[in-house]
């Protein structure tokens, strides 16, 4: 296997966590084993609120730590080591969610928080390794293949767990709750097995730093570097503007992903089993979608492909307001699956062109932070609209507005930075390629 293939394999590995632990299985398992209303700090907490707050705590912790961790990795030249460390923690915690007895639901929450931190943290350094694997002209192609591998891997892992949940009680006389625990352990093993193979193939990717740093020294320098990040973004105004656009339009994307099943159940009364099937179909159809958009950027600049994707997302989201049948929901899901992989993969690869290699970990730390904060405002506003007007359908115009505002901000990026395939630019105006010649071999930075 080539190095880029090992890099894509890690997406295949850890996407099992996203589909099983974050989306389809663990949330419903927790609601089944936790008391309907738990006593904590003198108050009663509904189980669904506890789960939401747990997700928020884990995401919030990583949102605060990601830029610092990225800066530390840049200073120490240890992006790969950090990837391995976070992945190991995430795998062990994922397995622990299936080992913890159902009655110890607080332990389940703690294990999930640790697992989600491992998952999100590993992605920061996984992203930052891409420019150390391929050159700028291959960002779009490899980024798209990475997302495509993730969609297939995550989808197959989820399909396997769901198949076991159906087979175990019927044929194996295994209690349903025990079958779920088996599925959670299997998810951790999936991530661990394929992740170990991927990391073995990536072990020689990162060149050694000019002056090796101890972890303590790197941590101090990482904090100092973090304080200078916003100043460092000034000569990279296109990167800053892109992050602002991405923060807004990705908020709509993340909200759609998070609330699609809720919309299907509340607005269209689709049974839960068929909603899970739709999630699987979207996961698998996103594979050819990601590849198509990666192929398209060989003929069209990545920036303009992103513009098209934003228009398609706005159109598809607006269409959701008018659907009234399950068949129409299926059609919409298929269309969204096709554009989902494109907007995620091309956003990542376009951003990789807008800054120099030596800051890849730090800048992608901010990219990851933006991704995390993007999942906050959209759901809140949709919830408010549903509360005011009595139906979740009335939150859809808010998401359409997000796409429009994101497109407007994206259009403020100068024409000189819209062309694809030319690599990032450093603060002094050098192209990423020439910058590498004078930086002792460092590769242009950013991730898939």
Q: What is the DSSP string of 210-273?
A: SS---HHHHHHHHHHHHHTHHHHHGGGHHHHHHHHHHHHHHHHHHHHHHHHHHHHHHHH---HH
The domain ranges of the chain are: 3-437
pLDDT for 423 equals 41
pTM, 2 dp: 0.69
- What span, in angstroms and rounded, lies between the C-alpha atoms of 81 and 92? 17
Q: Taking Cα atoms as reference points, which of 344, 346, 342, 340 lies closest to residue 421?
A: 346
285's CB contacts (< 8 A; 6+ apart) are 334, 337, 338
* Mean pLDDT over the full length of the chain: 77
Contact 87, 195 (CB under 8 A): yes
pLDDT single digits (tens) 305-364: 888 999 999 999 999 899 888 889 899 888 888 888 788 778 877 877 777 656 665 666
DSSP string, 23-53: IISHHHHHHHHS-SEEEETTEEEEHHHHHHH
Q: Residue 1, class by beta-carbon neighbours within 10 Å (0-12 exposed, 13-18 middle, 19+ buried)? A: exposed
pLDDT of residue 16: 94
Give the lowest-confidence range in 116-130, 231-245, 376-390. 376-390
Least confident of 68-72, 149-153, 251-255: 68-72
Q: Three-state DSSP class for 207?
A: coil
Cross-strand partners of 40: 43
Residue 91 is predicted with a pLDDT of 97
Structure confidence at residue 434 as a pLDDT band (50, 70, 90): very low
153: tokens are: 């891997």
| Per-residue pLDDT reduced to its tens digit, 413-431 | 877 777 643 344 433 333 3
- Give me the mean pLDDT over the 289-307 stretch: 82
* CB-CB contact of 129 with 447 (8 Å): yes
100 pLDDT above the threshold of 90? yes
Contact 234, 34 (CB under 8 A): no
Token pair in block for residue 31: 């609601």
Residue with tokens 């800054």: 355
CA-to-CA distance for 87 and 103, rounded, in angstroms?
A: 27
- When pLDDT is averaged across residues 143-160 and rounded to a whole number, the result is 86
Backbone torsions φ then ψ of 162, nearest 5 degrees: -65, -35
Average pLDDT over residues 97-116: 92
CATH of domain 3-437: 1.20.1250.20
């Amino acid at each position: 296997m080539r190095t880029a293939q090992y890099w894509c394999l890690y997406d295949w590995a850890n996407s099992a966590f996203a589909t099983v632990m974050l989306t389809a299985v663990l949330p419903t398992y927790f609601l089944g084993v936790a008391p309907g209303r738990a006593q904590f700090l003198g108050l009663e907490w509904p189980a669904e609120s506890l789960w939401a707050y747990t997700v928020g705590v884990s995401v919030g912790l990583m949102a605060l730590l990601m830029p610092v961790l990225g800066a530390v990795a840049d200073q120490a030249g240890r992006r790969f080591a950090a990837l391995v460390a976070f992945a190991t923690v995430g795998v062990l915690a994922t397995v622990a969610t299936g080992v913890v007895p159902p009655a110890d639901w607080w332990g389940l929450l703690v294990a999930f928080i640790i697992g989600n931190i491992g998952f999100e943290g590993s992605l920061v350094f996984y992203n930052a390794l891409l420019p150390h694997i391929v050159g700028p002209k291959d960002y779009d192609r490899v980024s798209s293949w990475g997302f495509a591998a993730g969609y297939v891997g995550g989808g197959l892992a989820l399909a396997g767990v769901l198949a076991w949940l159906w087979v175990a009680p019927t044929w194996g006389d295994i209690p349903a709750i025990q079958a779920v625990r088996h599925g959670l352990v299997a998810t951790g093993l999936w991530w661990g097995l394929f992740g170990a193979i991927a990391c073995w193939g990536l072990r020689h990717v990162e060149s050694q730093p000019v002056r090796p740093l101890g972890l303590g020294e790197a941590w101090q320098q990482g904090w100092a570097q973090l304080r200078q990040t916003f100043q460092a973004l000034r000569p990279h105004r296109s990167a800053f503007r892109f992050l602002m656009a991405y923060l807004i339009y990705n908020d709509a994307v993340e909200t759609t992903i998070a609330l699609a099943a809720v919309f299907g159940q509340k607005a269209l009364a689709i049974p839960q089993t068929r909603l899970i099937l739709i999630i699987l179909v979207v996961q698998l159809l996103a594979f050819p979608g990601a590849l198509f958009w990666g192929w398209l950027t060989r003929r069209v600049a990545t920036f303009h492909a992103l513009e098209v994707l934003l228009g398609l997302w706005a159109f598809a989201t607006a269409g959701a307001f008018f659907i009234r049948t399950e068949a129409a929901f299926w059609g919409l899901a298929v269309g969204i699956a096709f554009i989902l992989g494109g907007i995620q993969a091309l956003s990542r690869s376009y951003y990789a062109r807008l800054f120099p290699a030596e800051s890849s970990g730090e800048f992608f730390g901010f990219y990851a932070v933006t991704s995390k904060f993007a999942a906050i405002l959209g759901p809140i506003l949709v919830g408010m609209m549903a509360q005011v007007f009595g139906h979740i359908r009335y939150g859809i115009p808010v998401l359409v507005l997000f796409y429009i505002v994101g497109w407007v901000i994206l259009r403020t990026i100068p024409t000189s930075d819209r062309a694809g395939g030319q690599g990032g630019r450093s603060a002094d105006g050098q192209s990423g390629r020439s910058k590498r010649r004078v930086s002792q071999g460092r590769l242009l930075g950013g991730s898939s």
